[in-house]
Structure 1
Amino acid sequence: MTETTAQQHPAHSDDPEYAANLRRATLASSVGSALEYFDFALYGLFSALVFGQLFFSNLPAEFAVVASLASFGVGFLARPLGGLFFGTLGDRLGRKWVLVVTILLMGGATTLIGALPTFDQIGIWAPILLTVLRLAQGFGAGAEQAGATVLMAEYSPVRRRGFFSALPFIGIQLGTLLAALVFSLMSLLPDEVFFGWAWRIPFLASFVLILLALFIRLRLKETPTFVELEKHEQVANRPIREIFTKGLAGVTVGVGLRMAENGGSYMFQTLALAFVAGNFLANPVDRGVATWGVTVGSLIAMLVLPLTGHLSDRFGRRVIYRAGAVFMLVYAFPAWWLLSQGDPLTVVIVIALGIGIAVNTMLGPQCAMLPELFGNRHRYLGVAMAREISAVLAGGLAGVLGAYLLAVSDGDWLLPAIYMAALALITTASTFLVPETRGRDLLRLEDAVNVSTDEGHERDADLPVGSAAR
């Protein structure tokens, strides 16, 4: 970019307008992430431990859990469709308004879940309506996190992009933490109160978060990189065609990178809880105690996320990402064996380390890495497709396939351990297929995987923080 262009779009942290926009973008992304993961963590916890009794009470207990986790997993099927639809709009119309629509759709579906009648009240229509709302929730979420990822990467200063891009993802941990705390506190209620009406409260209360997120996002300005596309009339007319031709390699690698992070996250947050608190162990752990593992893991992740984002600015995205994938690979077998022992304190520690260290050591560098993989014309759609296809293949299957394997094997811990290790192997291999993206100019139109490995990377990283390469 020319000096004139760089001056028109300052990215210095001491520039008042830029600093205000960066704060606003961070807040908008963080609140949206918090709402999305409050919704998803809440639904995941309830599907693992509660919804089987409320919406699938006509099934035997073990398969009620499988059916309940299947309703959780079906939302992932809608996520690629939502990512495709809203990602296309994001690349054609801009990032801001898509983020406004997705937060309304996702949050509205969550709120309505709290108003659903149960199986005992309306029979088969109860799980059908639950599934429909879960599909709507997934459709909106399909572009929500991708939009937040792209938004922060495009606003962040180039040399600290890893750190700043990771900050909104603390909202993920806040949402997960809030869901786990709410569930733990509600578990103290008598069963007749909890299963009678109290379970509805957190779903209905998410409406407050929707209003807050909507207020913040309506005040948000469009990202500088999309403004540049419009200014030079380079906005893609057919981003779908581009992403499935020029962007296909980037999407494929992005899916591989996400398998362990996304699949591992949902295995620790849902499947592990169903394993230790359900009917798979001789002495099940109390569901309220087990969820403290998710709570502690979220607290650890709040430190790990910005730290690993910062480390990826110093040492590169690939090496930090690979460290997290290898840790999960090594951790999988001892973790599931320890869970099978049924000791409450051990359960909390195992789940906390899995979420806080294994998963989030990958998520930290991923926040900047995925947007850096794609060119400016189809970045939103590319990130959405990489995130949401992997969400189906990893996170969506983690609960239902894992629960099925446990059900048919009479609770054999080895099967989910092998499953988790396989996901970690895929991600570890993927880190060797992607070029280093640290410091890449986000105004470039070609994808990182379509140029020579690391070619141009050092040049982009050497640009001053205030350049248009943010």
Structure 2
Amino acid sequence: MPVTPKAVLDKSSIRRVVISSWIGNTIEYYDFLLYGLASALVFSKVFFPNVSPLAAMLASFATFGVGFIARPLGGVFFGHMGDTLGRKITLLITLGGMGVATFLIGCLPSYNSIGIWAPILLVVLRFIQGFLVGGEWGGAMLMVVESAPANRRGLLGSIPQTGGFSGQLLATGVFALVTQLPEDQLLSWGWRIPFMLSVVLVLVGMYMRRRLDETPVFQEVQKQHKTKPNKVEKEESPVVTVVRDQWRSILLIMVLRFAESVPFFMTTVFAVSYATTQLGVDKQTMLNVVMATCVLAFPMHALFGALSDKVGRRPVYIFGALCAAAMAFPFFWLLESGSFVLMVLGYILLINIAHNSINAVQPSFFTELFGPKVRYSGASIGAQLGAIVAGGFTPFIAKGLSAIDHNDWTLVACYVVIAALVAAYAAWRAPETSKRDMTKDTL
């Protein structure tokens, strides 16, 4: 049965859902991307001091990737919870747990204090972070897309997606402040401050999320379940159902993520490290470049999200993927200039135009591929599996490719081009989902 008009949220309720999802996503990515910055600038010296600089940097980036290995596991676990118990309770658990894990990272002793246990504990906490993130993204997006009017799902779904950039903005801004400290103070206690501050943000997010109701779509699913006659047999797990019946959609999402995740983590993690260590660019300058990109991401997401409501998800996604392929080499040419203005231009081309057009469409595009009974599981599993193969090890792969080529970036740019073209082909073959009835099990 379709959702009745009375079940549709009013404007104030939709606004509250969008804002709370944006805040939650901001906190999630603040925690997660803060780790990426620390991996590029600090962790190699704090947790891996007794190896060569290259090995230390690779080890630091590898711990960054560990969080992505855990994400599909979190997607399975919290996807099942979200499809059976509800979106709201699941999101409260993921956000609260994420905050605890991030705070504990800030409390970790260094390698010089407890030896090998320092990097071991770092990897464990990073794994827990990734596990919780695996259930966070899908639920936050569902809260908005399932609550939005059909003709505004692209626009409203794109707004919480900017949480990645507001989180990056906060993480970069706080890190920019602590990097002003003398290096010995930065490495001893300064880097810990941004991680510990996450507690304040988490408390705000928990307060906002506790005030939300379940989405109209999930409420209707619960209503149908309660009135369903002859409920004798135990229902199959949503995870089992979606993997068996819609594995093609899960695989599609994994491939689509290449055009978004590879450029993003290449520019925000690898490029920051490459510019500061190989090109001699000041750390503060690189942090300012990233911050400028984050500010521009807000209007760009709204633009591309609204456009996808007009022309469809596929055309916008294909446009973004082709732009990412075209901008990979110009990005590094502009980065090599060392000019703040030209480096910002490079980030605008690859991130604010190419990446943002893709990122804005993902919430609506990915969730619209699935029916309401398996939507949390399907979107989460697909997105988080894609996060492993497309994003988690991008800094590690990029560092390895540049080392093979004598610290040159050419192979890294080729990697971005290939990833983007593969995703563009997948988007071309994908179904158009913008007209889907979110209460139906099929397109």
The TM-score, its normalising length taken from structure 1, stands at 0.90
Q: Does 1:8 align with 2:6?
A: yes
> In 2 relative to 1, CA 351–236 (structure 1 residues): closer, same or farther, beyond 3 Å?
farther
Match of 1:79 in 2: 71
Match of 1:178 in 2: 170
2:384 to 383, 388, 410: 388
Q: Percent same amino acid at aligned positions?
A: 39
Secondary structure at 2:193's aligned position in 1?
A: helix
Q: Deviations over 1:413-444 (max 9, x none)?
A: 11110110111011100111111111310101
Q: Does 1:164 align with 2:156?
A: yes
Greater Cα offset, 179-188 or 148-157: 179-188
Match of 1:302 in 2: 298
Give 1:343 shift.
4.2
Greater Cα offset, 226-235 or 393-402: 226-235
2:204 to 212, 219, 240: 212
> In 2 relative to 1, CA 236–258 (structure 1 residues): closer, same or farther, beyond 3 Å?
farther
Q: Does 1:377 align with 2:369?
A: no
Q: Separation in 2 of the partners of 1:201 and 1:355?
A: 28
Q: Does 1:191 align with 2:183?
A: yes
Q: Deviations over 1:348-386 (max 9, x none)?
A: 432343222221110111121111111111000111011
Q: Deviations over 1:312-332 (max 9, x none)?
A: 011111111111111001001
Match of 1:251 in 2: 250
Q: Does 1:99 align with 2:91?
A: yes
Give 1:21 shift.
2.2
Q: Give the partner amino acid of 2:56.
A: A
Q: Does 1:120 align with 2:118?
A: no
Q: Give the partner amino acid of 2:281.
A: V
Give 1:346 shift.
3.0
Give 1:183 shift.
1.5
> In 2 relative to 1, CA 318–399 (structure 1 residues): closer, same or farther, beyond 3 Å?
same
Match of 2:231 in 1: none
Q: Give the partner amino acid of 1:10.
A: V
| Number of residue equivalences | 436
Q: Does 1:418 align with 2:414?
A: yes
Match of 1:264 in 2: 263
Secondary structure at 2:294's aligned position in 1?
A: helix
Match of 1:228 in 2: 220
Q: Give the partner amino acid of 2:36.
A: G
Match of 1:427 in 2: 423
Q: Give the partner amino acid of 1:94.
A: G
Secondary structure at 1:195's aligned position in 2?
A: helix
Give 1:297 shift.
1.0
Secondary structure at 2:4's aligned position in 1?
A: helix
> In 2 relative to 1, CA 341–7 (structure 1 residues): closer, same or farther, beyond 3 Å?
closer
Q: Separation in 2 of the partners of 1:62 and 1:277?
A: 14
Give 1:215 shift.
1.1
> In 2 relative to 1, CA 213–262 (structure 1 residues): closer, same or farther, beyond 3 Å?
same
> In 2 relative to 1, CA 206–236 (structure 1 residues): closer, same or farther, beyond 3 Å?
farther
**2:334–2:345 CA contact under 8 A, matched in 1:** no
Give 1:344 shift.
4.5
> In 2 relative to 1, CA 119–435 (structure 1 residues): closer, same or farther, beyond 3 Å?
same
> In 2 relative to 1, CA 345–190 (structure 1 residues): closer, same or farther, beyond 3 Å?
farther
Give 1:133 shift.
0.5
Q: Give the partner amino acid of 2:104.
A: L
Q: Give the partner amino acid of 2:432.
A: E
Q: Separation in 1 of the partners of 2:302 and 2:257?
A: 18
Give 1:236 shift.
5.9
Secondary structure at 1:29's aligned position in 2?
A: helix
> In 2 relative to 1, CA 215–236 (structure 1 residues): closer, same or farther, beyond 3 Å?
farther
Q: Give the partner amino acid of 1:317.
A: R
Q: How does 1:316-465 map to 2 (within 5 A)?
A: 316-446=312-442, 448=443
Secondary structure at 1:301's aligned position in 2?
A: helix
Gaps spanning 5+ residues in structure 1: where? Answer: 12-17, 449-470
**1:300–1:357 CA contact under 8 A, matched in 2:** no
**2:8–2:216 CA contact under 8 A, matched in 1:** no
Give 1:225 shift.
0.6
Give 1:9 shift.
1.5
Q: Separation in 2 of the partners of 1:236 and 1:99?
A: 23
**1:294–1:352 CA contact under 8 A, matched in 2:** no
Q: Separation in 1 of the partners of 2:392 and 2:272?
A: 16
1:311 to 301, 307, 312: 307
Match of 1:466 in 2: none
Secondary structure at 1:375's aligned position in 2?
A: coil
Q: Separation in 2 of the partners of 1:83 and 1:236?
A: 20
Match of 1:47 in 2: 39
Q: Separation in 2 of the partners of 1:64 and 1:240?
A: 38
Secondary structure at 1:436's aligned position in 2?
A: coil
Greater Cα offset, 219-228 or 183-192: 183-192
Secondary structure at 2:107's aligned position in 1?
A: coil
Match of 1:455 in 2: none
Give 1:230 shift.
1.0
Q: Give the partner amino acid of 1:389.
A: L
Gaps spanning 5+ residues in structure 2: where? Answer: 229-233
Give 1:262 shift.
1.4
Greater Cα offset, 332-341 or 320-329: 332-341
**2:330–2:346 CA contact under 8 A, matched in 1:** no
Q: Deviations over 1:109-139 (max 9, x none)?
A: 1111110011111111111111111000000
Q: Give the partner amino acid of 2:27.
A: L
